[in-house]
Structure 1
Amino acid sequence: MSRQAAAVWDPAQYGVFGDERARPSADLVARLGDTAPARVADLGCGSGELTATLAARWPGAVIEALDSSPEMIARTREREIPGRLDFRVADVTTWLPERPVDLIVSNAVLQWIPGHAELLPRWADALTPGGRLAFQVPGNHDAPSHVILRELGRSDRWRRKLGALQRDAPVLGPAGYLDLLTRHGCAVDAWETTYTQVLHGDDPVLEWVKGTALRPVLSALDPGETDEFLGAYREALRQAYPAAPYGTVYPFRRIFVIATTP
């Protein structure tokens, strides 16, 4: 996950619902098939759990993993493999490899980067011939959880502090990414999936969003304001996602792209 937004990231909170968050990444990598890359870059690696699965899948690969959050990178040290898997704090928007890589993987990063459509061709240019760029991003910005968050942030009460943080369409759709990267000369496989998840616990949708979309908001508010904001948001989420006896249904749409260079 990217840490490009001005937010303090909480690895523990992000780890809540960790299995559900990991599923799109696993599906993306599974779509790569029997490829055997020698050099891999994981851009926006978060706390490194998913990067470690790449190292296990391709034991002969050298993997460079980076994230802009010191809090997240601090959690990766036990997963480092000298000479094979290296983690570091860095900005994915300025990253360039020392030499071309065979595979770039990026999970839940691009939604944090305004203008990332200009970044993707540069990443493609960092690949070896026949190399692949594989990424996935959330496509649920029209879901009630995110619409309510934007409307609340733009309300008279919160506009001054939070209005500038609200973005209506932070990602393209599958067709948009296909068009962008095909025009750049790549062969593109783009698709979307909606995971119809059942979340458990008290106010589980709020707990889910606390790990991602709420982070910039929480970083912008002082403690008293945070309690007030979360109180209003919590009540709206309860109305939008009523609990059932078996849990709370939270549809989770994801957008996937694999672009292969000529």
Structure 2
Amino acid sequence: MPWNPDIYNKFKDIRFKPFFDLSELIASEATMKAVDLGCGTGEQTAILSDKFPQATFLGIDASPEMLSMSRKLEHEHLKFENSSVEKFLETTGSLDLIFSNAALQWLDGHQLLFPHLISKLSSGGQLAVQMPYQPENVLNKLLSELAAEEPYRSYLDGWNRASSVLSIDDYAQILFHSGLEELDLSLRIYPIIAAEAEVLYDFISGSALIPYIERLDEDKRPVFIEAFKTRIKQHFSRFPAIYPFKRILLYGRKS
């Protein structure tokens, strides 16, 4: 089940607000060599390019489906590349800005990943990252709990995705001890008002649900999906419902 930009963008307004909040933390410089890790459709990278016209931006994403919409956005100072974050970090030189909005939660080993990212920053370079705070988000919890129960555990061959996202205290320590200054870290709530359970299902189906569906046999997928929808309805017993979706925003500048 590849990433689907149409499903993902059904909640474009909700997904863009933390992006704009994160972009406001970035200081404009005379010149900037910048990368957007996990750029998706490239729309947000294009907005950054317009906001910082003196910068050269490269958008990186591992999904060709998501990147299919990005080519029309390219210009002299904005390019896109189909690559994993890991592969890009192996080959890139120093950068003045590493930006990532709602992408790094897909990568494991943040205790090592973030120092590696910071090592790629030039002196005075900036790191700006936003991630859903999966350990405390209800839909992620419901999904993980369902996958751990039978018969779904067997359907998934025992696989379940433990969130790699750390606490904000952990990130403060990592960023500080990796040499970042002017730190700005926050945990923010971006409420989703859902008229019905299907809205909440649609929201998570465009992101966190994907790796579960990919691992299920074709005939087991509708069974798992229906069970998950039932869990959502049971938890959010009253509609319209508010889903207080939590996100971590991280910013710092290399000394």
Output the CA distance in 2 between the equivalents of 1:200 and 1:78. Answer: 35
Which residue number corresponds to residue 87 of structure 1? 80
Q: Which amino acid aligns with 1:218?
A: I
Shift of 1:140: 3.6
Map residues 35-46 of structure 1 onto 2, 5 A cutoff: 35=29, 37-46=31-40
Residues of 2 paired with 1:131 and 1:27: CA distance? Answer: 19
Q: TM-score, normalised by structure 2?
A: 0.92
Which residue in 1 is equivalent to 2:50?
Answer: 56
Higher helix share: 2
Which residue is equivalent to 2:213?
A: 218
- Tell me the distance in 2 between the aligned counterparts of 1:224 and 1:58: 48
TM-score under structure 1 normalisation?
A: 0.90
Q: What is the CA-CA distance between 1:174 and the residue it aligns to? A: 1.5
Q: Residue in 2 aligned with 1:157?
A: 151
2:66 corresponding residue in structure 1: 72
**Partner of 2:81: helix, strand, or coil?**
strand
Q: Report the 3-state secondary structure (helix = DSSP H, G, I; strand = E; otherwise coil) of the residue aligned with 1:93.
A: helix
SS at match of 2:135: coil
C-alpha contact (below 8 Å) 1:108/1:137 kept by paired residues? yes
- Quote the RMSD (CA, aligned, Å): 1.8
Q: Which runs of 4+ in 1 moved over 4 A?
A: 33-37
Q: Which structure 1 segments of 5+ residues have no match?
A: 1-6
The one-letter code of the counterpart of 1:166 is R
Consecutive unaligned residues of structure 2, counting only runs of 5 or more, are: none
- The answer on 1:13 being equivalent to 2:7 is yes
Residue 3 of structure 1 corresponds to which residue in structure 2? none
Which residue of structure 1 lines up, in the alignment, with residue 248 of structure 2? Answer: 255
Of 113, 116, 120 in structure 2, the residue corresponding to residue 119 of structure 1 is: 113
Q: How many residue pairs align between the two structures?
A: 252
Residue by residue, what CA displacement relative to the aligned partner does 1:205-238 show, whole Å, maximum 9, x if unpaired?
1000101110101112233311111111111101
The 2-side partners of 1:68 and 1:31 are apart by 26
2:122 is matched with 128
Tell me if the contact between 1:37 and 1:103 (Cα under 8 Å) persists in the aligned partners. Answer: no
1:113-159 residue CA offsets vs partner (Å, 9 max, x unmatched): 11132121121121121111110111143333122111111112111
User: Per the alignment, do residues 137 and 46 of structure 1 end up closer, same or farther by CA in structure 2, a change over 3 Å counting?
Assistant: same
Q: 1:189 aligns with which of 184, 189, 199?
A: 184
When structure 1 is superposed on structure 2, of 33-42 and 142-151 the one drifting more is: 33-42
Q: What's 1:4 paired with?
A: none
The question of whether the paired residues in 1 share the 8 Å contact of 2:191 and 2:242 is answered with: yes
Amino acid at match of 2:121: L
- Confirm or deny: 8 A CA contact 1:8 1:216 kept in the other structure: no
Offset at residue 166 of structure 1 (A) = 2.5
- C-alpha separation between the residues in 1 aligned to 2:36 and 2:175? 19
Residue of 203, 214, 236 corresponding to 1:241: 236
Query: What is the percent sequence identity of the aligned residues?
Result: 32
